[in-house]
Structure 1
Amino acid sequence: MEVLRVAILDFCRRRKNNSFCPSEVVRQLYPEDWRHFMPEIQAVMMDMYREGLIRVTQQNKPVDPNQLPIGPVRISALPQKPI
């Protein structure tokens, strides 16, 4: 879902070096029904993680990109490479 990809990247841009929960993204987009969108945001998050667009961690450790994590995770932007 393209809107979720854009929203995740926007959160990364706004949060800079701070991580955020995937639920924050869907809560902003769909405040009344955000829980219904959790499976979708998790799928999009993992696709983006496997594509190398974002970082996904659980307890400050990178998650396995081949498995949907169980429990709370955090999304963050990739570190900026020095120019």
Structure 2
Amino acid sequence: MALIITDECINCDVCEPECPNNAISQGDEIYIIDPDKCTECVGHFDTPQCREVCPVDCIPADPSHVESQDQLMAKFLKLTGK
């Protein structure tokens, strides 16, 4: 499932450069994650890198975008052309 950034985000800017899929960008008020690009780092890392660096733990799974590990891997392969 894709991840989402909650309104607890403090705009610290540490998550954006960690995303290997460039799924994170600055929104109107807080950072946002593009669910079409978020693979929870499947294919790149064992754990979502944005969650690893977030100092306020504001990046839960997005219940609106439920995906299996296989679906996330398929998205990774499509995004990277591998």
Q: TM-score range by the shorter chain?
A: under 0.3
Q: TM-score, normalised by structure 1?
A: 0.27
Q: Give the number of the structure whose residues are more often helix, by fraction.
A: 1
The one of the two structures with greater contact order (alpha-carbon pairs below 8 A, sep at least 6) is 2
Q: Give the number of the structure whose residues are more often strand, by fraction.
A: 1
